[in-house]
Amino acid sequence: MSKLDEVFFRIQKTKREQKKIRDTYKDALVSYPSYQKTVEELNELKEKKKKIEADVKADFRNDFTKLEDLKIDLDTDLEMLSDLAMTQLMKGETVKITDEENQIEYEPVFNVRFRKAK
């Protein structure tokens, strides 16, 4: 077994232990009547908060439309930046960016995650 497999299996085991403890904790909370009452009150307050937010959003409809458009543009640019940096790295070139005043230098941070194969 490779070190990669060992670390992966250790992570999986730790996640299972965390889940078991969280589940036990949630079960213990359910047995407290005051907890249930507090949860109900919290849900009522959340609904009230959502209504207030919806009313205010209605007043700022144009700004929120612009905000959504900006979010889409930002997501697209972030993906393009990532693709360009990866392409540059794969060509063996140095990947770095300097800010507009040439004072701060940025370097990429790469992250590896594993998911189940389809």
Q: Give percent of the chain with pLDDT exceeding 90.
A: 59
Distance CA 38, CA 28 (A): 15
Q: Look at 108 and 47; give whichever has higher pLDDT.
A: 47
Q: Look at 112 and 70; give whichever has higher pLDDT.
A: 70
Q: What's the N-to-C CA distance of the chain in angstroms?
A: 23
Give pTM, 2 decimals: 0.55
Distance CA 78, CA 40 (A): 40
Lowest-pLDDT range of 45-49, 91-95, 100-104:
100-104
Residues 49 and 66 grouped into a single domain: no
What is the model's pLDDT at position 98? 87
Number of domains the chain is built from: 2
Q: Which two structure tokens, joined as six digits, stand for 28?
A: 């213990």
Residues 73 and 100 grouped into a single domain: yes
Per-residue pLDDT at 69 exceeds 80: yes
What is the model's pLDDT at position 52? 96
Q: Look at 70 and 86; give whichever has higher pLDDT.
A: 70
Residues 46 and 68 grouped into a single domain: no
Residues 44 and 25 grouped into a single domain: yes
**Average pLDDT estimate for 3-31:** 93
In a domain, 39, yes or no: yes
Residues 6+ apart with CB under 8 A from 35: 29
**Average pLDDT estimate for 11-29:** 95
Residues 46 and 66 grouped into a single domain: no
Domain that holds residue 39: 13-59
